Copies of this chain bind each other. A is one copy, B any other.
């Protein structure tokens, strides 16, 4: 099978680097276009980027020239698939431009996540929200050959919603508390100052609690034509930054709509394999794994399960206030960002959403 060309917006940041790393050997996609801010455009990737991952920067990418981050004026052909790792303010301005000229924009930004006709998707949870794209106004631009925007959730919401989905399906969710301990890589580079986090906790991440609270109910909601009906559940989030490089840990108390035993809940998690048989390159065998050890999951030990795409849950025990308590862990820059977007793209490829519009809608 021929690999499709893809581009990366915001290629030099922390999430951009993860895109490079995860796509370097991808069987379906080939990076042919990378862009960064005006300051970096024209430089090679190696010159412009402070590579912060623990695998080597792929030499082919190192030598590529960064393009301006607009749809026009590239020295190389603009691919039809654009992965976007931009700050929200920039994404709000740039992503629509790429969609308007016909690109499928697979975005990790928060800019359009809550927009009515933009799907906010984690494939195992709500791939059925993807048809929302056909309602996007960008579709009609470019002489009817316009593209679309698909988003994935905030890094702290992805792991959570994976653990919640099988519970919602089997028992229904009424309400939940979640308290997070989030890794510094979630804030990008340079991001969190070392003086703020060495031997410390910062009990505040701007807008993070709001994002978790609103994104989870959209993700677990039902797509109804051109919009999503939010799940009727109440969620309260406490978000904290801790001295961990990668991997968000979350403590949850949950009230279910139907009674459930320990065994039934664990079985719901272990039986949750909605993508099985689709052979998507980035989909883990198990999106959710339960660990029976008394003190797991832990970020340093468990974040790379399923190549960083598996949510690990543990410590399921009764809650004296709601029904049950548990702990979960999810890799924040793989499953929580670049890997999430790539998995979205793989699903779109399977659905034929990367063909020309004519073919798709025919």
Which chain A residues have a beta carbon within 8 Å of chain B's beta carbons? Answer: 14, 52-56, 175-177, 179, 181, 184-185, 189-204, 213, 234-236, 238, 240, 242-245, 249, 251, 253, 294-305, 314-315, 319-322, 325, 327
Q: Which residue of chain B lies nearest to A196 when distances are taken between CB atoms in the complex?
A: B194
Question: Copy number in this complex?
Answer: 4
* In contact, A295 and B175 (Cβ under 8 angstroms): no
The answer for the CA separation of A284 and B55 in the assembled complex, in Å, is: 15
With A190-B195, A194-B243, A200-B298 as given contacts, are A55 and B304 in contact (CB-CB < 8 Å)? Answer: yes
Q: Which residue of chain B lies nearest to A251 when distances are taken between CB atoms in the complex?
A: B238
With A243-B242, A303-B54 as given contacts, are A298 and B234 in contact (CB-CB < 8 Å)? Answer: no
How far, in Å, is A329 (CB) from chain B's closest CB? 8
Q: Which residue of chain B lies nearest to A205 when distances are taken between CB atoms in the complex?
A: B295
Known: A54-B301, A176-B321, A190-B196. 12 other contacts (CB 8 A): A54-B303, A54-B304, A184-B194, A184-B195, A185-B195, A193-B194, A194-B196, A202-B298, A203-B327, A234-B320, A236-B319, A238-B325
Q: Which residue of chain B lies nearest to A181 when distances are taken between CB atoms in the complex?
A: B201
The answer for the CA separation of A232 and B148 in the assembled complex, in Å, is: 55
* In contact, A251 and B240 (Cβ under 8 angstroms): yes
* In contact, B325 and A236 (Cβ under 8 angstroms): yes
* In contact, B236 and A300 (Cβ under 8 angstroms): no
How far, in Å, is A285 (CB) from chain B's closest CB? 12
The answer for the CA separation of A203 and B122 in the assembled complex, in Å, is: 26
How far, in Å, is A203 (CB) from chain B's closest CB? 4
